[in-house]
Structure 1
Amino acid sequence: MKKYLLPGFGVLLLICSFAVPEKKEKKPNVLFIFVDDLRPDLACYGNKEIYSPNIDQLAKEGALFTNQYVTVPTCGASRYSLLTGQLPRRTEHLSNSAFEKLMKPGVKTSTAETFVDQFRRNGYRTVGLGKISHSADGYVYGYTEPKSDRLEMPQSWDEMLFDSGHWKTGWNAFFAYADGASRMTKDKQVKPYEKGKVGDQGYPDGLTAQLAVDKLQELAKSDQPFFLGVGFFKPHLPFNAPQKYWDLYDEDSISLTPSPNLPAHVHPASLHESGEFNQYALGEEKASLDKPVSDAYARKVKHGYYACVSYTDALVGKVLGQLKTLGLDDNTVVVLWGDHGWHLGDDRVWGKHTIFERSLRSALIIKAPEGLSGIQRDEIVSAIDIYPTLMELCKLEKPQHLDGKSMNLLLKQKAAPQWDNRAFSYFKNGITLRDKDYRYTKYFRNQMPNIELYDHRSDPFENTNIAASNPKVIAQMEKKWRVGDTGIFKNKENK
């Protein structure tokens, strides 16, 4: 009997004989927004005095971390630790010049220099705008020097861009006043705040936001996944913002710190004399540990900080709005992170550079395509946890040398997973550990007391050091603290 093929069957067999290529899943993009000196003073964190609708909306769409701590309370060192995913182990790791000293041009290592470099090595297009590392524009040069051509993160970027406007250099833009002057060009003869009679692009951050909007439009045209870092200066000093953001607030109604005095049973060496703040020579009052500034001046300065937060919030909204307009938001991991906190008169300090709660706790919001929306995470997390989290979210290999742990489960399940609640921070010859209930700090110095303990269940503002009366708790915390003793102060004697 003859066998016949049905019409078209041979063609079907021919088609089926070739493997149909599997569609490659596009990796998620990453938009990482770095905000300088942003403590968690936002409405979504419970501060109802602050006007921050755009960041609040991001929190509704993602995960709000209420207890995220940086490892070092100064800009460059904090960002170095974040970007490398490592705890400080050398004194250079505590310096604003960490990138300059430790990331050399032309030296390509077997492991990525930062998580940005790790993205680049895995096929991402990496673009930085503004302050990502320490320098205002990502290049190594002094405050009053011409811009150099040496990148602080030489292996990380496909593009590092900045619009310095009429301020001409990144550092002048960082300390900008609306008329084109800066703290340096005015030889510090300026106030620490300004109500600028300008629009959003009258200060450098407005130019950075516009750069981000334009760059997103370009990136949207490519099939290549991208990492876009956007670094805003405000609310870093000087507290300069367009007038309309000052007008959002009634200065007389701004609340004052619940910690106007020095903490009890603490040596002043644990604090500082607000040197950065006092550089602004035309400020109406000088800050000092001897006594608080007047209530009126405290409200004036705090008003400036709040105005800068609201200005930054508006610019964040502009960037996120463009992300949605271009249809990129469904496949983009968005991270908003503050590089450390800031004492707004708390403990008589105006500035960062302490290892107290006010200086170490900062804002962190993560929105992931596969993550839950509108969740609040109260676990203790560290900035070094962000690197492994990004790797897991983007399905990339995580380098073995990282000190942090992925927060992926905190983004994807409502029930609290088993979690090691602790974060270590380092500064002023001290190492501090924050866990769920306590902050335990040990200083390698001669001034006593050199041990501090704060019970956050009853003293959330760290007003009283209770170390002397709690030897059992000290012994328990000391065991946990030893895990974070990286030997950074090994040449210091803890007397």
Structure 2
Amino acid sequence: MELHSQMRPNVLFIAVDDLRPQLGCYGDKVVQSPNIDRLAKLGVLFNRAYCQQAVCSPSRTSLMTGRRPNTTKVWDLKTHFRTTIPDVITLPQYFKNNGYHTQSIGKIYHDPRSAQDSLSWSAPEILVVTAKKGKYVLPDNLLTKSSKAASSEIADVPDNAYIDGKVADQAVATLGKIKDKPFFLAVGFRRPHLPFSAPKKYWDIYDRDKITLPAEREFPTNVPSYAGHNSQELRGYTDIGKNVITDEKVKELLHGYYAAISYTDAQIGKVLDELDRLNLTGNTIVVLWSDHGFHLGEKGLWAKSTNYELDTRVPLIVAAPGKKQGIMSNALVELVDLYPTLADLAGFQIPDNLEGVSFMPLLTQPDMPWKSAAFSQFPRPWMYKGNPNLMGYAMRTERYRYVEWRDFKTAEVRAVELYDHRLDPLELNNVAELPANAVKIKELKQKLHEGWIKAKPIANVPKRL
């Protein structure tokens, strides 16, 4: 990708809901994701990227404002950041203020109409609210009273019978309309968020009989129970409820998740193809990210909303003109870093008060020393009223995941978790209570309390003149 020196780079900003890094380009041997894999060959794939809170609105708010959840005060699905930090300039708003046409198609902020932010965009948002008809096409599912029907759906229909096909069609059409001016086009896909609805041809990619069950499906006994949950998001679907999730149902759900990824991957391919057809790829920064990861029955957990690796680690690919291609970086990066990074790549001054770090240097030197830690958090109980009782603060270093559960009002530490990823990559054994780890706990506790500022790669970031 060559930078056209007289042109400001465009930005194609692709969001995928609930997508964990289970993709071909991340080494997965099951999921078929040829279009995302193609994008990875054009840019830098970040192998250790983390969200700041593993649920839709808090994560997206953090990314889009460049602030962490304790600054945005958005820890739930209802609070709008304009009520807590009303004058904040969002990432697309910053591009708009610098002369870009900014536009949103699909899910970029959280789903409801009340969660949108018109100040971010140059034009009205398109397909930002998911109707039930976009999630389902079969009458049995459309006729249920609740917005949730079956947890998955297979139908022999064209791609644009579902919402993500419609989003891709709109993105393709919009690219043709805005191609002659610098643009920031945000395109948000819903699947593989539940329900796992996808056209039949994507289900047909996979043989359910060959799908393997999670290795460990019991929640660990040496952690506080509130560190996990009862998979309430999945249990809201009519075919799940309070039922025991059988092996057969687990395989059906895994099959659906994989089919939903392949469906969304195909839609992403359509948008990338149009970028190529319009000769825009050489001057466009393409970013693909997910708002958080996802559990698929591991440790008995389904969906997101924990502080664990499977929920906080996300796929992140950045393909930028003049930067490295087909490279993986193992540097610790965070979604809150995307705002300063994209501003940097566009040649803008990075705004003050952002709480992330531009990782633009990693796009030319992917293995350079970088952050010493990434930070996430999650409240308990989830779906709290007023204020939560506890806030779990998690820190991921090169080797460890350290979590403190603190009283929300007093900040008193109620419980601690420690996982050694060299010995326990599945985070099954909390070793915080082992006497041999007392010194390490003290060290990690201090590092967590010092926070993200002390974890920055200060010596490695070029000073802006």
TM-score, normalised to structure 2, is 0.88
Structure 2 counterpart of 1:161, one-letter code: E
> Which digits, 9 at most, give the CA deviation of each residue in 1:58-87, with x for residues without a partner?
111111111110001110110000011111
CA distance in 2, matches of 1:63, 1:160: 32
Check if 1:277 corresponds to 2:234: yes
2:57 counterpart letter in structure 1: G
1:156 corresponding residue in structure 2: 120
Q: 1:56 aligns with which of 21, 37, 41?
A: 37
Name the residue aligned to 1:464: 429
Structure 2 counterpart of 1:228: 185
1 CA distance for matches of 2:246 and 2:414? 29
Q: Distance in 2 between matches of 1:219 and 1:297?
A: 45
**Closer, same or farther: CA 74–98 of 1 in aligned 2, 3 Å:** same
Q: How many angstroms does 1:304 deviate by?
A: 0.4
The secondary structure found in structure 2 opposite 1:480 is helix
Shift of 1:135: 1.9
Looking at structure 2, the residues matched to 254 and 484 of structure 1 have their Cα atoms a distance apart, in angstroms, of 41
Which residue of structure 2 lines up, in the alignment, with residue 391 of structure 1? 343
Structure 2 counterpart of 1:153, one-letter code: D
Contact 2:295 2:302 in 1 (8 A): yes
Is the deviation greater in 211-220 or in 293-302?
293-302
Following superposition, the deviation at residue 100 of structure 1 comes to 6.1
* Deviations 1:278-310, CA, capped at 9 Å, x for gaps: 1112238736xxxxx322221110100000000
The alignment's C-alpha RMSD in Å is 2.4
The residue that corresponds to 1:144 in the other structure is: none
Q: Which of 145, 150, 158 lines up with 1:199 in the alignment?
A: 158
Q: 1:464 deviation in Å?
A: 0.5
| SS across alignment from 1:425 | strand
CA contact (8 A) 1:129 1:160 kept: no
Aligned to 2:376: 425
**CA spacing shift, 1:211–1:103, aligned 2, 3 Å:** farther
Q: Partners of 1:356 and 1:479 in 2: how far apart?
A: 20
Give the direction of change, closer, same or farther, for the CA distance of 1:437–1:77 in structure 2 (3 Å limit): same
1:132 to 108, 120, 123: 108
* Deviation of the 1:185 alpha carbon: 5.3
Q: Which residue of 2 aligns with 1:318?
A: 270
Matches for 1:351-370 after TM superposition, within 5 Å: 351-370=303-322
The change in CA–CA distance for 1:181 and 1:317 in structure 2 (over 3 A counts) is: farther
Residues 119 and 126 in structure 1, CA contact (< 8 A), matched pair in contact too:
yes
| Residues 421 and 449 of structure 1: CA distance in aligned 2, closer, same or farther (over 3 Å) | same
Per-residue CA deviation, residues 11-58 of structure 1 (Å, 9 max, x unaligned), is xxxxxxxxxxxx982110000001000000101111110000000011
Q: 1:85 to 1:100 in 2, by over 3 A?
A: closer
CA 1:96–1:63 in 2, change beyond 3 Å: closer, same or farther?
A: same
How many Å apart are 1:160 and its aligned residue? 3.2
Q: CA deviation at 1:173?
A: 4.8
Q: Distance in 1 between matches of 2:122 and 2:234?
A: 36
Task: Find the partner of 2:174 among 198, 215, 224.
Answer: 215
Determine helix, strand or coil for the equivalent of 1:304. helix
Question: Within 2, Cα distance between the matches of 1:413 and 1:335?
Answer: 18
- Give the Cα–Cα distance (whole angstroms) in 2 for the partners of residues 464 and 445 of structure 1: 24
The percent of aligned pairs where both chains have the same amino acid is 40
SS of equivalent residue, structure 1 residue 257: coil
Q: Distance in 1 between matches of 2:53 and 2:206?
A: 31
Q: How many angstroms apart in 2 are the aligned matches of 1:256 and 1:189?
A: 25
* 5+ residue gaps, structure 1: 1-22, 141-150, 288-292, 487-495
* Alignment match of 2:130 (pick from 164, 170, 176): 170
2:18 is the counterpart of 1:42: no
SS of 1:450's partner is strand
Is the 2:118–2:124 Cα contact (8 Å) retained in structure 1?
no
Q: Post-superposition shift, 1:183?
A: 7.0
The letter of the residue matching 1:61 is L
Secondary structure of the residue aligned to 1:420 is: coil
The 3 A distance-change label for structure 1 pair 476 and 178 is: same
Q: Partners of 1:24 and 1:379 in 2: how far apart?
A: 29
**Contact 1:336 1:365 (C-alpha < 8 Å) held by counterparts:** yes
CA contact (8 A) 1:173 1:182 kept: no
Structure 1, residues 222-252: CA drift from partner, whole Å, max 9, x if none?
2x21000001000001011001000000111
| Residue 435 of structure 2 is aligned to residue 476 of structure 1 | no
Shift of 1:181: 8.0
Aligned to 1:346: 298
- Which of 165, 188, 197 lines up with 1:240 in the alignment? 197
Structure with bigger gyration radius: 1
- Maintained 8 Å contact 1:63/1:375: yes
Q: Distance in 2 between matches of 1:77 and 1:262?
A: 25
Q: Cα deviation per residue 1:323-345 (whole Å; 9 max; x = unaligned)?
A: 00100000000000010011100
Q: State the TM-score, normalized to the length of structure 1.
A: 0.83
Aligned pair count?
434
